[in-house]
């Protein structure tokens, strides 16, 4: 294990608690687990205008997160449907 820690913001935590689709919740959970192993997978995209902030895609949903290299921390800022997450 390389020591990366994944933390969820209050918004991200609320989204997951309200999500009714258990299958999707499981897929998002797997994606979050994979970020602990590799916070910059080949499928991630850097967000313009925001330093060290990236997104990954899980079906029609997006996981927006910030990487703090010095603390080995992946902070999940927001999770949401692709139509709404960037607003």
Non-local CB neighbours of 46 within 8 Å, separated by 6+ positions: 53, 54
The parent domain of residue 70 ranges over: 5-81
Number of domains in the chain: 1
CATH number of domain containing 40:
3.30.2310.20
CB-based contact 45:7 (threshold 8 Å): no
| Residue 51 in domain | yes
- Is 69's pLDDT higher than 90? yes
- pTM of the full predicted structure? 0.92
| Residue 16 in domain | yes
Instruction: Assign 2 a pLDDT band (cuts: 50, 70, 90).
Output: low
- Is 31's pLDDT higher than 60? yes
| Residue 17 in domain | yes
CB-based contact 47:64 (threshold 8 Å): yes
| Number of C-beta neighbours around residue 46 at 10 A | 12
| Residue 87 in domain | no
CB-based contact 63:75 (threshold 8 Å): no
Instruction: Assign 85 a pLDDT band (cuts: 50, 70, 90).
Output: confident
pLDDT for 61: 96
């Amino acid at each position: 294990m390389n020591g990366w820690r994944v933390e969820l913001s209050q918004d991200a935590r609320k989204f997951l608690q309200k999500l009714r689709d258990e299958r999707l919740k499981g897929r998002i959970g797997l994606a979050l687990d994979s970020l602990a192993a590799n916070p910059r997978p080949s499928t991630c995209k850097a967000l313009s205008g925001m330093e060290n902030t990236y997104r990954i895609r899980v079906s029609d949903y997006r996981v927006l997160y910030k990487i703090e290299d010095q603390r080995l921390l992946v902070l999940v800022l927001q999770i949401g449907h692709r139509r709404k997450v960037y607003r």
